[in-house]
Amino acid sequence: MEPTAWMEQAEQSMLHTYNRYQIVLDHGEGVYLYDTEGKKYLDFAAGIAVQALGYGHKEYNEALKGQVDKLLHTSNLYYNQPTIEAAGKLCKASGMDRVFFTNSGTEAIEGAIKAAKKYAYAKDGCAGHEIIAMEHSFHGRSLGALSVTGNAHYREPFEPLPGIVKFAEYNDLASVEGLVNEKTCAVILETVQGEGGIYPAEPEFLAGVKKLCEEKGILLILDEIQCGMGRSGHMFAWQGYGVKPDILACAKALGCGVPVGAFLMTEQVAEGSLKPGDHGTTYGGNPFVGAAVSKVLDIFEKEGIPKHVQEISVYLEETLEQLKMEYPFILARRGLGLMQGLELAPEIPAGEISAKALGEGLILITAGNNVLRFVPPLVIGKEHVDEMAAILRKVFHLTGKDMLP
């Protein structure tokens, strides 16, 4: 069937909540994707930071095939070996003590919020606790996750949203301090803001928020759904800052394509928050996703993925800085590890660049206010960075030729 026929069929039967690019992807190999017509694309989006190992990783695929033939699902009324192994490995890699597996990042945020509120309730016996979140943040689209997402455009159609949430300015400690009161139970923030435009937390800000939380008896929730799992050059970005959260949310590359998320917490929070009956999930942590998470963590350790990210990200940053020097409509480069962004002048829309790059065989996505987002598979090499830059130069030259020196 022709690609146009597939797309027409999709629009007839699927709810139109995405403005999809006009290609039908078919398979992947390494860091490349191929459409149904056989066209090859260099992938610098990784399914929105999911496909950390690229495509067709033999050891990963074999682990999933083996689990499919053995056992897919049992429910959480029973123990299963793959998820027990995955939990131990994830706690070790993250530096946290307890984990609850979910089906997505959004559900991980929901669980983190519930844990924080239950912890506060268990301490003082009162409901109505407040959460401080950040402007321009993104935590998900369910009602609870949306309530702490700092973008009015996303929230307004669905208000009133649950809970009392106040929004501070990211990287502005005084803004956070000004919102704290006796009802505040948690501060939630992304260690690196993703959808908001690729903004890493400033070390002084993150350390200051942590100190404030400790002084006031408030929990710090870090959302590392996108920036976690090696993307920063550490298994989790907080480890590079030395600022440990009380609750940590992760997903995306946790399963490298298998839908799985998790929220983790310290032993102190676990002892004082969610008890049997407070939270649950039918599918979360089933044997299939447990096998995926377990194998992903094995591969990360065996292949030294975080160390590779530290090395290759320097080259990516240098390449992006060179592009910034060459093209005056690139206003800024920022990011951490293999989570980078180029902010473009308003007259060069990032969405237009992304679409033209796709036509030239490069998959890129956007973020925030006119930012090109670079979140490739964590296994890329210098040759892939060079290939990406060559395509971007071609697109930039054609798009911004009237602005070139």
Question: Average pLDDT over the chain, rounded to whole?
Answer: 96
Q: Render pLDDT for 280-333 as a digit per residue (tens, 0 to 9).
A: 999 999 999 999 999 999 999 999 999 999 999 999 999 999 999 999 999 999
Per-residue pLDDT, averaged over 243-259, amounts to 98
- Beta-bridge partner residues of 362: 42
pLDDT, residue 352, reads 95
Backbone angles phi, psi at 192, to 5 degrees: -130, 120
- The pLDDT tens digits for 44-58 are 999 999 999 999 999
Identify the sign of the CA torsion 104, 106, 109, 110: negative
Across residues 12-25, what is the average pLDDT? 93
Residue 315 pLDDT: 98
Q: How confident is the model at residue 3 (pLDDT cuts 50, 70, 90)?
A: confident
- Which conformational region is residue 231 in: left (phi greater than 0), alpha (psi within -120 to 50 degrees), or beta? alpha
The radius of gyration computed from the CA coordinates of the chain, to the nearest angstrom, equals 21
Q: Domain 71-303 - what CATH class? A: alpha beta
pLDDT above 70 (res 404): no
Would you state the pLDDT for residue 400? 64
pLDDT score, position 368: 87
d(CA 363, CA 384): 12
pLDDT digit string, tens, across residues 339-384: 999 999 999 999 999 999 999 999 999 998 899 999 999 999 999 9
Instruction: Give the model's pLDDT for residue 401.
Output: 55
Report the percent of the chain where pLDDT is more than 90: 96
Q: How far apart are the first and last CA of the chain?
A: 46
Residue 36 has pLDDT above 50, yes or no: yes
User: Average pLDDT in the 170-182 region?
Assistant: 98
Q: What token pair was written down for 352?
A: 């237009």
pLDDT at 398 over 90: no
At residue 405, the pLDDT reads: 46
Contacts of 366 (CB under 8 A, 6+ apart): 350, 351, 354, 372, 373
pTM over 0.95: yes
pLDDT (tens digit, 9 = 90+) per residue, 180-217? 999 999 999 999 999 999 999 999 999 999 999 999 99
Distance CA 100, CA 119 (A): 16
Q: How many CB atoms lie within 10 A of CB 319?
A: 19
Superfamily of chain region 3-56+304-403: Aspartate Aminotransferase, domain 1 (3.90.1150.10)
CB 222 within 8 A of CB 266: no
Residue 232, both tokens: 């920063």
What span, in angstroms and rounded, lies between the C-alpha atoms of 326 and 333? 13
Phi, psi for residue 82 in degrees, rounded to 5: -60, -40
15 CB-near residues (< 8 Å, 6+ apart): none
Every domain of the chain and the residues it spans? 3-56+304-403, 71-303
